[in-house]
Amino acid sequence: MVSESPSDRADAAASVRPVRDELAEHRTRLQELGHIDEAACRRFQHSVEFAGRKWNAAILLAGVRGARRFSEYRAAVDGISDRLLAARLKELEDEGVIERHVRATTPVTISYTPSTSGLQLIEVLQPLVEWEVEHSAARAAAPARDDARDAS
């Protein structure tokens, strides 16, 4: 059994304190949001499920990056089938985050562009991407910390 010195315990307590302070700060901010009524909760749930539905964000991001034609979306979103891409584009159009443009040419030309609402959704999702980058780095570092702790 390895015993800890008083200075080791003090260092551990000091490193826990900022985490506790940060958690308390998060709880305070959440309490300041107040009570969410049932209708707002349902709208929130719909938004989260819509944004998190498989392929939706990838399709929208492809549009933000410049995809316009169906084939460009299919090339940009690796692994999606034509049938599912068509269904998701229709769903995104129905939600107002993608706009469908039909030009009367021979043959008819159809293109899709992100709407203002779609651009706002991508902006709202960006902090989630940054959060994942930060936390994936922390998860990758955790085994190294565990190995170093086990070795000592």
3-state secondary structure 16-75: HHHHHHHHHHHHHHHHHCCCCCHHHHHHHHHHHHHHHCCCHHHHHHHHHCCCCCHHHHHH
pLDDT band for 35, please (50, 70, 90 cuts): low
Cβ neighbour number for residue 94 with a 10 Å cutoff: 9
Please check the confidence at residue 40 and state whether its pLDDT lies above 90.
no
Closest by alpha carbon to 110, among 101, 118, 119? 101
As a whole number, the mean pLDDT across the chain is 84
Average pLDDT of span 37-48: 84
Higher pLDDT, 26 or 10: 26
Sign of CA dihedral 146, 147, 148, 150: positive
Q: Measure the CA–CA gap between 46 and 51, rounded to whole angstroms.
A: 9
Q: Rounded to two decimals, what is the model's pTM? A: 0.66
